[in-house]
Amino acid sequence: MSLKTFLRGVHPFDGKALAKDSPIRQVQMTGEMVFPLSQHIGAPATPTVKPGDHVLMGQQIAAPGGFVSAGICSSVSGTVRAIEPRTTIIGETRDSIVIENDGKYEAVPGLGEKRDPSSLTPAQIRDIIRDAGIVGLGGAGFPTHVKLTTKDDSKVKYVIVNGAECEPYLNSDYRLMLERPEELLGGLKVILSLFPNAEGVIGIEDNKPEAIRLLTEKTASEPRIHVEALKTKYPQGGERMLIHAITGQDINSSMLPFDAGCIVNNVATVIAVYMAVCCSTPLMTTVMTITGDAVKSPCNLEVPIGCSHKDVLEAAGGFSVQPEKLISGGPMMGTAMYTLDIPVQKTSSSILAFAEDPVADNPSSPCIHCGRCVQACPERLVPQMMQVAADNDNFEWFEKLGGMECIECGCCTIVCPAHRTLTQSFKYGKTSVNRLRREAQAKAAVEKSAK
């Protein structure tokens, strides 16, 4: 049987063996906890506490700042010290709630209480998910209750669980699938209860045979759920590639998965839904893989959101050698951090520490037009021509070449023998096109109102 997959893509060194077999270890933190109000796509959350307030573990400390937004719940009990700008993973400062952790982990009443999802209406389920502050934990951080609110719930044919985990080095979703399969299936059933005509599909790359075997066993008697083994290839876990592999349908940048009858959530998100709906536990922790050749003992830790990366690294055992580079997320799409003194967010799934930085070691040289980028691009674009367009600010041509379809997966950049920073140019090109579109819209609006 040939495995389902997509066209093109790359096979980077996967490095998963470092921490693959290390079971998730729960860690509690002490000291200062920092909760940026913007950890998701959409409007920042609005604080519901003020400095001096005492908060309990599981208490909402910020409410959604709009429909496309998410609230935040405290992962510890303690005292609110301040609401002030703090440096976040992306390297910029964001307003954040700072809580002094009293170490008592005093819970709000009702935390952890079992709840029967069949007694809840779809609207109640969505409200619980919203109040629990759940966002897409695969990295994008799109508010989950928004994703689960569609124009027509009966048109959803597939609820896809993204268990591809195609980013090299990361293991958190793999460990969750192995260690918490009941919670995963429970969460999937909750989501399926919202969409009467949908089947649940768990897509897993075939480099995780244990997870495929376990979940296939567990779903054998589930009429609405099955496991789909996928070919191991990056970016198999990209939303569009995953939908293509599982349903054969292609979506583009101006479409939503819903347009192909799909709802896609990653493993950690589905488990968070289970915890919120069935166990009255909002999103307070995240599972992180701490790995890389500069880490003494690579492992998987479940840590409270809001703690410092520095504390997570210490809990993992620290560095074996001084790293040149730290990455939050995977090496393909993650964000480089210049310091460890940054709070862990909802979407944090890893700390990668590398003794050497291949980016700094390989400066760009002239393009030799070899076409490897074209062979690698899963979006079937022409990165070489797009870079020329973006670098020359020829945004019209950039758009015509399909530049807005770029998913910034990085395939073109890692196969380039001239080590050109293609993805960087495309981020610039896309941002510029979006800016120009906004300006054009604003101008049109002004002209319209003038008439």
* Least spacing, CB of residue 429 vs another protein, in Å: 12
Q: Is 427 in the site for another protein (CB under 8 A)?
A: yes
Q: Using the rule CB under 8 A, is 354 a contact of another protein?
A: yes
- Looking at the Cβ atoms of 143 and 168, the one nearer to another protein is 168
The CB density around residue 364, as the number of other CB atoms within 10 Å, is 12
Q: In the numeric block, which tokens belong to residue 22?
A: 């290390």
- The yes or no reply on residue 400 touching another protein (CB under 8 A) is yes
Nearer to another protein, 126 or 430 (CB): 430
CB of 354 to another protein, least distance (A): 8
If binding is defined by CB under 8 A, does position 141 make contact with another protein?
Answer: no
Interface of this chain with another protein, residues 291 to 320, rule: CB under 8 A: none
Tell me the closest approach of the beta carbon of residue 306 to another protein, in angstroms.
Answer: 22
DSSP string, 232-298: --BTTTSHHHHHHHHH-----TT--GGGGTEEEEEHHHHHHHHHHHHH---S-EEEEEEESTTBSS-
CA angle 298, 89, 346 (to 5 degrees): 75
Contact segment (CB under 8 A) with another protein among 30-38, 158-166, 269-277, 355-363 equals: 355-363
Q: Are 347 and 287 in contact (CB under 8 A)?
A: no
Is position 107 an interface residue for another protein (rule: CB under 8 A)? no
The yes or no reply on residue 245 touching another protein (CB under 8 A) is no
Q: Which has the closest alpha carbon to 242: 187, 205, 296?
A: 205
Q: Which is nearer to another protein, 19 or 333 (CB)?
A: 333
For residues 233-251, one letter each, b for 16 or more C-beta atoms within 10 angstroms of the residue's C-beta and e for the rest, the string is bbbbbbbbbbbbbbbebeb
Interface pick for another protein out of 187, 416, 429, 430 (rule CB under 8 A): 416
Report if residue 337 touches another protein, rule: CB under 8 A.
yes
Give whichever of 133 and 329 is closer to another protein, judged by the CB atom: 329
Q: Is 151 exposed, middle or buried (0-12, 13-18, 19+ CB in 10 A)?
A: exposed
Asked if 402 interacts with another protein (CB under 8 A), we say yes
CB of 55 to another protein, least distance (A): 30
Please give the Cα distance from 237 to 411 (Å, whole number).
Answer: 13
Is the link from the previous residue into 235 a cis peptide, with omega within 30 of 0? yes
- Which residues inside 359-398 make contact with another protein, applying CB under 8 A? 359-362, 365-374, 378-382, 384-385
Binder among 53, 106, 153, 357 for another protein (CB under 8 A): 357
Cα(346)–Cα(384) distance, rounded to whole angstroms?
35
Among 117-125, 156-164, 217-225, 409-417, the segment contacting another protein (CB under 8 A): 409-417
Q: Which is nearer to another protein, 158 or 274 (CB)?
A: 158
What does DSSP assign to residue 372? H
**Does 418 contact another protein by CB under 8 A?**
yes
Q: Which H helix or E strand runs over 96?
A: strand 93-101
Minimum Å gap between C-beta 345 and another protein is 17
Position among 197, 297, 339, 431 found at the interface with another protein (CB under 8 A): 339
When binding is defined by CB under 8 A, the residue of 57, 290, 405, 429 that contacts another protein is: 405
Is 419 one of the binding residues for another protein (CB under 8 A)?
yes
Q: Look at the alpha carbons of 183, 24, 137, 198 in this order and tell me if their dihedral is positive or negative.
A: negative
Q: Which is nearer to another protein, 238 or 282 (CB)?
A: 238
d(CA 176, CA 184) in angstroms, rounded, equals: 8
Judging by DSSP bridges, how do beta strands 93-101 and 78-87 pair with one another? antiparallel
User: Interaction with another protein in 65-104: which residues (CB under 8 A)?
Assistant: 91
Q: Mutual orientation of helices 172-179 and 209-218 as an angle, nearest 10°?
A: 40
The nearest distance, CB 157 to another protein, in angstroms, is 17
Stretch that binds another protein, among 126-134, 145-153, 219-227, 415-423 (CB under 8 A): 415-423
Number of residues that bind another protein (CB under 8 A): 76
- Cβ 247 to another protein shortest distance, Å: 12
Q: Report 6-25 residues binding another protein (CB under 8 A).
A: 7, 12-13
**Shortest CB 403 distance to another protein, Å:** 7
* Rounded alpha-carbon distances, angstroms, from residue 27 to 107, 204, 305, 388: 17, 27, 11, 48
Q: 87: which strand partners?
A: 93
Q: Binding of another protein at residue 351 (CB under 8 A)? A: no
Draw the binding track, 221-240, toward another protein (x: CB under 8 A; -: no contact). Answer: -------------------x
The whole-angstrom separation of Cα 255 and Cα 349 is 27
State in angstroms the smallest separation of the CB of 430 from another protein.
Answer: 12
Cα gap 174→214, rounded to integer Å: 11
